[in-house]
Copies of this chain bind each other. A is one copy, B any other.
Amino acid sequence: MTTTIFVCVSCRRGSGGNDESFDRPGPALVQAIESRLRDDGVAVTAVDCLAVCKRPCTVALCAADKWTYLIGDIDPDSHADEIVAAALSFAASDNGIVPWRERPPSFRKGVIARVPPANHKEMQ
């Protein structure tokens, strides 16, 4: 079952003290992740806007029948290794919930939201 890392390539990140100076770190993050992935059932897909504009870059870890995790504040230079490690832990998990001890710092600090799988049933 493939795990997909969706990477927002629309996020603008302020690179100076004013609103006019920014970069778009998403494409570099896609490349950094792709260069680290082996043939391990994890894919990376660039996405035009995940709507988390205030915490660039944002990624989403997704797989069928698992919780989806959105993680923001990701820097291509600092966090690509961590995101790949998190995605491998996510891929190895039964339900998408990565144990806390396996979550790298950027994952622990950056969770934007999570969404249950479509087949999620209410606990009674």
Report if A23 contacts B (CB, 8 A): no
Among residues of B, the one whose C-beta sits closest to the C-beta of A9 is B122
With known contacts A68-B68, A121-B45, A113–B116 Cβ distance under 8 A = no
Report if A50 contacts B (CB, 8 A): yes
Q: How many copies does the complex hold?
A: 2
Contacts of A60 in B (CB 8 A): 113, 115-116
Is the Cβ of A70 less than 8 Å from the Cβ of B115? yes
Is the Cβ of B112 less than 8 Å from the Cβ of A115? no
Is the Cβ of B51 less than 8 Å from the Cβ of A113? yes
Contacts of A47 in B (CB 8 A): 116, 120, 122
Among residues of B, the one whose C-beta sits closest to the C-beta of A30 is B122
Contacts of A63 in B (CB 8 A): 118
Can you add 17 more A-B contacts, CB < 8 Å, to A51-B114, A62-B115?
A: A4-B118, A6-B115, A45-B122, A47-B120, A48-B123, A50-B113, A50-B114, A50-B115, A52-B112, A52-B113, A60-B115, A60-B116, A63-B118, A64-B118, A68-B115, A113-B113, A115-B115
Which residues of A approach B to under 8 Å, CB–CB? 4, 6, 45-52, 58, 60, 62-64, 68, 70, 111-116, 118, 120-123
